[in-house]
Chains A and B, each alone.
Chain A
Amino acid sequence: DVKVTQSSRYLVKRTGEKVFLECVQDMDHENMFWYRQDPGLGLRLIYFSYDVKMKEKGDIPEGYSVSREKKERFSLILESASTNQTSMYLCASSLGPGIPYEQYFGPGTRLTVT
């Protein structure tokens, strides 16, 4: 079974802190994604990556950056956390482009910024 893990289930940070959210997948997937999920807004794509060292902006990249140094690991970085970044963050991975693939999700990280 595909396994996508996220470093923390719950995280509380202060405004202005630099925050790292880690995601690891164990199935040699090419694609990895970061979403945030908010009530009434649904899931929105922040960033995604097709390959190591590659990154592409999603629909709401402002205030975030990402890092993918190794194929299995995709990190989301909040350079200076703000209260409007309080949300549930979901990581996903999939096999690769051009293939009828499924996305597999991690358990989520609920981030609270105070």
Chain B
Amino acid sequence: KQEVTQIPAALSVPEGENLVLNCSFTDSAIYNLQWFRQDPGKGLTSLLLIQSSQREQTSGRLNASLDKSSGRSTLYIAASQPGDSATYLCAPRGSGGGADGLTFGKGTHLIIQP
């Protein structure tokens, strides 16, 4: 069964810093991996989807990398802003049978101080 770990669990940094959020997963047989953002009390917003054949995917100030063989993904946020404060979740999608849904990490709670 896929297990997903996100480190750190929480992070507080001053505005303007570049930061890296880490995600590791135990089963490398994945189709793709999705990064989400969740604001308090709200649903999830998809940020980036990176295919298993890709190494990187970029959207604005966000860059996600994937090293499938080692079971790791990182989300890089450039020039952080207070509006980036949220919980960030990674979710690899497995290629095996079963749920066909995503397996979620518990997230990194990010606070950007003005």
Contact = CB atoms under 8 A, between A and B. Distances in A.
Q: Do A and B bind each other?
A: yes
Interface of A: 4, 31, 33, 35, 40-43, 45, 48, 50, 56, 58-59, 88, 90, 92, 97, 100, 102-108, 110
B105 interface: yes
B106 A40 contact: yes
B22 to A, nearest CB: 16
A103 B43 contact: no
Contacts, number: 53
A108 B102 contact: no
Closest 7 CB pairs between A and B?
A105-B44, A105-B43, A43-B104, A42-B106, A107-B43, A108-B43, A45-B101
Interface in B29-83: 31-32, 34, 36, 41-46, 49, 51
A51 B63 CA distance: 34
A40 B46 CA distance: 21
B54 to A, nearest CB: 10
B100 A97 contact: yes
Given A31-B100, A42-B106, A102 B45 contact: no
Nearest to B101: A45
Given A107-B42, A108-B43, A102 B34 contact: yes
A102 B42 contact: no
Contact of B99 (A58, A92, A104): A58
A82 B91 CA distance: 29
Contacts of A48: 99-101
A105 B99 contact: no
B44 to A, nearest CB: 4
Contacts of A102: 34, 46, 49
A50 B101 CA distance: 11
